């Protein structure tokens, strides 16, 4: 699953960073590689979480197609499904996804994080 799609899909389901500023709540912390590795291990070690992760990948592809067609109704329905699956993956996964907004996906750090998800992605094929 493409990390960019995961973050984009999660952005539809999660509270945008702008809302943190408006409410006075601090933005989520920037994730570390240790955070990423912990989440990947948690998902890889649980068959139900692994399936939820793979299902999110399929939904993310559908969301990309709906977005390209400007089909907001389908996009919203799919984002609700992604949100439910994210809940299955747990609070560590949710916190990680919220914090990824602070990392440039084209930076070395962003590329390293994307690569860390490769073992999970390989299991979805």
Per-residue pLDDT, 53: 94
Per-residue pLDDT, 4: 52
Per-residue pLDDT, 105: 87
Task: Quote the CA–CA distance of 20 and 98 in Å, as a whole number.
Answer: 11
pLDDT above 90: percentage of residues in the chain: 59
The secondary structure of 60-125 as a DSSP string is: HHHHHHHHHTT-HHHHHHHHHHHHHHHHHH-HHHHHHHHHGGGS-TTSHHHHHHHHHTHHHHHHT-
**What is the chain's mean pLDDT, rounded?**
84
Q: Please state the domain extents for the chain.
A: 3-25+32-123
Q: Model-level pTM?
A: 0.80
**Straight-line distance from the first to the last Cα atom of the chain, in angstroms, rounded to the nearest whole number:** 10
pLDDT, tens digit, 9 for 90 and up, residues 35-79: 999 999 999 999 999 999 999 999 999 999 999 999 999 999 999
């Amino acid at each position: 699953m493409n990390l960019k799609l995961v973050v984009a899909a999660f952005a539809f389901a999660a509270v945008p960073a702008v809302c943190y500023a408006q409410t006075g709540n601090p933005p989520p912390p920037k994730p570390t590689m240790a955070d990423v590795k912990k989440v990947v291990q948690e998902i890889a070690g649980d068959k139900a979480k692994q399936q939820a992760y793979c299902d999110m990948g399929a939904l993310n592809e559908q969301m990309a197609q709906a977005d390209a067609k400007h089909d907001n109704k389908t996009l919203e329905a799919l984002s609700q499904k992604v949100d439910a699956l994210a809940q299955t993956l747990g609070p560590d996964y949710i916190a990680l996804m919220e914090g990824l907004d602070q990392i440039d996906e084209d930076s070395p750090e962003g590329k390293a994080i994307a690569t860390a998800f490769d073992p999970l992605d390989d299991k979805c094929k």
